[in-house]
């Protein structure tokens, strides 16, 4: 399986601090995506980075991808209480007519006011 593995499993920080979550995977990928899930809700797409990209930004989010180390990181700057959620990385792999997105187990982020 090329399932992404997030680290840490849980992270607790104060409002205004930065939060960094990491994701590792096992095989080659086409892209890596990050999703957020608020408690009891569906997942919301945050950002996608392709295998030929090294860094992407979206608002307060910064994602890096190191294909040589098979790892990615998600940085949330100046965190807010509303950022409290579970964050999942997902690795995308396509071949022929098949495309699969495989999720990790997630990082639970708690931002304390």
Partner 1 sequence: NAGVTQTPKFQVLKTGQSMTLQCAQDMNHEYMSWYRQDPGMGLRLIHYSVGAGITDQGEVPNGYNVSRSTTEDFPLRLLSAAPSQTSVYFCASSLWRSAETQYFGPGTRLLVL
Nearer to partner 1 (CB atom), residue 73 or residue 92 = 92
Closest CA to 81 of 112, 108, 59, 107: 112
Q: What angle do CA 92, 93, 94 make, to 5 degrees?
A: 125
Site size toward partner 1 (CB under 8 A) is 26
Backbone φ and ψ of 83, nearest 5°: -80, -10
In the complex, minimum distance from the CB of residue 83 to partner 1, in angstroms, rounded to a whole number: 19
Q: How far is the CB of 27 from partner 1 (least distance, A)?
A: 15
> Taking CB under 8 A as the rule, does residue 102 contact partner 1?
yes
Q: What part of residues 32-61 is at the interface with partner 1 (CB under 8 A)?
A: 33, 35, 41-45, 48
**CA 100 to CA 92: how far, in whole Å?**
6
| Per-residue interface string for the shown chain with partner 1, residues 14-33, x marking contact by CB under 8 A | ----------------xx-x
Residue ranges of E strands in the chain: 5-7, 10-14, 19-24, 31-37, 43-50, 55-58, 61-66, 71-76, 85-95, 98-103, 107-112
Which stretch in 14-22, 56-64, 73-81, 92-100 sits in contact with partner 1 by CB under 8 A?
A: 92-100
**Where do contacts with partner 1 occur on this chain (CB under 8 A)?**
1, 3, 30-31, 33, 35, 41-45, 48, 88, 90, 92, 94, 97-106
């Amino acid at each position: 399986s090329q399932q992404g593995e997030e680290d840490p499993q849980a992270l607790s920080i104060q409002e205004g601090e930065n939060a960094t979550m990491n994701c590792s995977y096992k095989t080659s990928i086409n892209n890596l995506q990050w999703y957020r899930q608020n408690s009891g809700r569906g997942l919301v797409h945050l950002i996608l980075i392709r295998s030929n990209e090294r860094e992407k930004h979206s608002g307060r989010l910064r994602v890096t991808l190191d294909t040589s180390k098979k790892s990615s990181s998600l940085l949330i700057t100046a965190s807010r209480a509303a950022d409290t959620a579970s964050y999942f990385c997902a690795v995308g792999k396509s071949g022929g007519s098949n495309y699969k997105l495989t999720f990790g187990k997630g990082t639970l982020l708690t931002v304390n006011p």
